[in-house]
Amino acid sequence: MKLTLKLGVVLAVGCQWLLVPGEACGQRGAVRNYSYKPAAATQSWAQSLFAETSHSFGTVARAAKAEHVFSFKNESDQPIEIMSVTASCTCTKPEVPQKLIQPGEEGQVIAKYQTKLFSGQRGATLNVSLKKGNSYGTALLKVDGFIRQDVVLHPESVEMPGVLAADGATAKVKILYAGRSDWKVTDVKCEQPGMEFKINELVRQNGRVEYELEATIPQGHALGQIQDVITVYTNDKNLTSFPVSLSANIVQPIRFKDVIELTVSEGSTAIEKLLMASGSDFQIIDYQCESCPVSIKLDGEKRKVHQLEIKAEGLNEGRTEHILKLTTNHPQQPTANVRLVIEVQTGR
């Protein structure tokens, strides 16, 4: 009977402590208000920045490049600072290309799946701490996927960083498999127009299979950046397909800024410099610009880098656009076009 009474007193006191945590802890000199919740507005503005807050990499090969970009646009009138990004699992490495995002700019958080170090089902939550003015907020971004241990890519992706349009290029990736002796790659597909893809079997021995994936950018391909995925299909019912990252940049033989903006006062002149560079020596022979109030002094020299001075005259008030056509003796690029935007302002 006494034991029951004592136990009841202990339970009553314990329940009282649990029901009134603030008062009990306050008596100890450390207030812990467990019912506290951060202001909803502080959290919601940060979370609502991202239209996409989760991404699945699906099933990927080991050592394959697997990255995803979470982006947002700063549509406020204040800069937004990405103060820090932490990941709940080391299977994902977060990166921030730019920490201070000005109004109108785009911010990015890149999630890099560590496929070389991990295998199996893996996922992580990225905790993004942000600041806008005097307001702090947190956005939670989630990634997950399954990393196969028996399929390995080497190198991690198809990458062609600087391809001359006139030359084209080819890159190769090996697909290594260990397991079933009848494992096969049945097809490869990519929606990137103008490119060619081949798959060649190199080795099949004692459950070890090796393929070579070949990607080709033909001569005369359109200029610009390529970011895409090559899908590899197999006869494995547990891995019917997996992605191979594709990135390329097709450039002109002569590199230059293709748009130049000049501001000049009416009745005056303004000078803007145009840098043109190539891997081989070339000469700028002539230039043409119809109804264009500009002049360029050509020295007739043959070299890899040219710095031209474009002199614009402020004739009539207003904004006009012109095409400056430069003639060269470069065998892969006989002409180079630059778009000129000239704004003439009055002195009033």
pLDDT of residue 223: 85
For CA atoms 70, 76, 82, 85, the dihedral sign is negative
List pLDDT tens digits, range 233-276.
Answer: 999 998 999 999 999 999 888 989 889 999 999 889 999 999 99
pLDDT of residue 47: 95
In a domain, 23, yes or no: no
Mean pLDDT rounded to a whole number for the chain: 87
pLDDT of residue 108: 97
List pLDDT tens digits, range 133-146.
Answer: 999 999 999 999 99
Amino acid at 275: L
> Which residue, among 158, 99, 109, 160, has the nearest Cα to 131 in the 3D structure?
99
pLDDT of residue 43: 61
246 lies in the same domain as 263: no
Task: State how far the alpha carbon of 73 is from the alpha carbons of 105, 106, 190, 225, in Å.
Answer: 6, 4, 29, 22
212 lies in the same domain as 274: no
- Last residue in a domain, options 251, 267, 299: 251
Residues linked to residue 236 through DSSP beta bridges, in sequence order: 239
In a domain, 203, yes or no: yes
pLDDT of residue 347: 63
240 lies in the same domain as 218: yes
pLDDT of residue 252: 87
In a domain, 31, yes or no: no
Q: Specify the higher pLDDT residue, 29 or 300.
A: 300
In a domain, 105, yes or no: yes
pLDDT of 11 over the 90 cut: no
pLDDT of residue 310: 93
> Which residue, among 92, 134, 136, 86, has the nearest Cα to 113 in the 3D structure?
92
Report yes or no: 169 and 217 within 8 Å, Cβ to Cβ.
Answer: yes
52 lies in the same domain as 109: yes
- Last residue in a domain, options 147, 179, 194: 147
In a domain, 3, yes or no: no
Q: Which residue has the tokens 């399954």?
A: 146
**pLDDT confidence bin for 8, thresholds 50/70/90:** very low
117 lies in the same domain as 184: no
In a domain, 35, yes or no: no
pLDDT of residue 9: 37
List pLDDT tens digits, range 17-69.
Answer: 333 333 333 333 333 333 334 444 446 899 999 999 999 999 999 999 999 99
For CA atoms 32, 35, 39, 42, the dihedral sign is positive
How many domains would you assign to the chain?
Answer: 3
274 lies in the same domain as 199: no
> For residue 173, what is the domain's CATH number?
2.60.40.10
pLDDT of residue 293: 87
What SS3 string covers the chain?
A: CHHHHHHHHHHHHHHHHHHCHHHHHHHCCCCCCCCCCCCHHHHHHHHCCCCCCEEEEEEEEECCCCEEEEEEECCCCCCEEEEEEEECCCCEEEECCCCEECCCCEEEEEEEECCCCCCEEEEEEEEEEEEECCEEEEEEEEEEEEEEEEEEEECCCEEEEEEECCCCEEEEEEEEEECCCCCCEEEEECCCCCCEEEEEEEEEECCEEEEEEEEEECCCCCCEEEEEEEEEEEEECCEEEEEEEEEEEEECCCECCCEEEEEEECCCEEEEEEEEEEEEEEEEEEEECCCCCEEECCCCCEEEEEEEEEEEECCCCEEEEEEEEEEECCCCCCEEEEEEEEEEECCC
pLDDT of residue 220: 84
List pLDDT tens digits, range 187-217.
Answer: 999 999 999 999 999 999 999 999 999 999 9
- Last residue in a domain, options 235, 251, 267: 251
45 lies in the same domain as 134: yes
48 lies in the same domain as 139: yes
133 lies in the same domain as 200: no
Q: Specify the higher pLDDT residue, 125 or 40.
A: 125
247 lies in the same domain as 268: no
How far is 95 from 102, CA to CA, in rounded Å?
18
Report yes or no: 216 and 195 within 8 Å, Cβ to Cβ.
Answer: yes
pLDDT of residue 37: 41
227 Cα distance to chain centroid: 9
Residues spanned by the domain of 113: 40-147
Task: Pull the structure tokens for residue 123.
Answer: 């996922």
Report yes or no: 322 and 289 within 8 Å, Cβ to Cβ.
Answer: yes
In a domain, 18, yes or no: no
291 lies in the same domain as 275: yes
pLDDT of residue 20: 36
In a domain, 191, yes or no: yes
Q: Which residue has the tokens 């903006």?
A: 261
